[in-house]
Amino acid sequence: MKNLVYRKQWGARAPVQRTALAAAAVRYFVVHYSAADADEQANHAICAARVKGIQRYHMDTQGWSDIAYNWLVCKHGYIFRGRGWKVRSAATGEANDYTVACCFLGDDTANRDDVTAAGREAIYELWTFVGDRAPNLQDARGHRDFMATSCPGNQLYAFLKTLDFGE
């Protein structure tokens, strides 16, 4: 993956535990958003601190074993490794047993391009990465398809509906 930021690079803490998720179990690529204006900053250097803050919140406040997401994407087109591939996420409730989770660092404010072309490209790159490795992948979904939430917002949700395998 291009623009991949490894855990060591963003200052990740070691996970308390990791639960494997077989590639064959993955049926959906689920996109979330942080629901904060994390993408407002023009300085990409701040993005790593935001990812680290999410991990701190997930581990210290929620009591989870690590950051909830497999990957996180910023508006600058960088992909941050969260739990990574073949690791069960904690982001999508009961669907964690058959989904991988990507979180966009940002919000979905009306009449504003929160995601950016670089952000969409990074999400698409993750989508193809998962599609090339998960033989039972069906499609991309939003967090709202699995839980009562507006996440990942209307703009990002509409983008997800454009993703396919070119079938």
**pLDDT tens digits along 118-141:** 989 999 999 999 999 999 999 888
Share above pLDDT 90 across residues of the chain, in percent, rounded to a whole number = 59
Whether the pLDDT of residue 20 is over 80: the answer is: yes
Question: What are the C-alpha distances in Å from 54 to residues 67, 85, 126?
Answer: 7, 19, 20
Instruction: Judge contact between 140 and 27, C-beta under 8 A.
Output: no
pTM over 0.75: yes
**pLDDT tens digits along 75-89:** 899 999 999 999 999
Instruction: Judge contact between 67 and 37, C-beta under 8 A.
Output: no
Q: Which residue has the higher pLDDT, 98 or 167?
A: 98
CA distance 77 to 34: 16
Share above pLDDT 70 across residues of the chain, in percent, rounded to a whole number = 91
Instruction: Judge contact between 7 and 55, C-beta under 8 A.
Output: no
Whether the pLDDT of residue 33 is over 80: the answer is: yes
Q: Which domains occur in the chain, in start order?
A: 4-160 (3.40.80.10)
Instruction: Judge contact between 102 and 32, C-beta under 8 A.
Output: yes
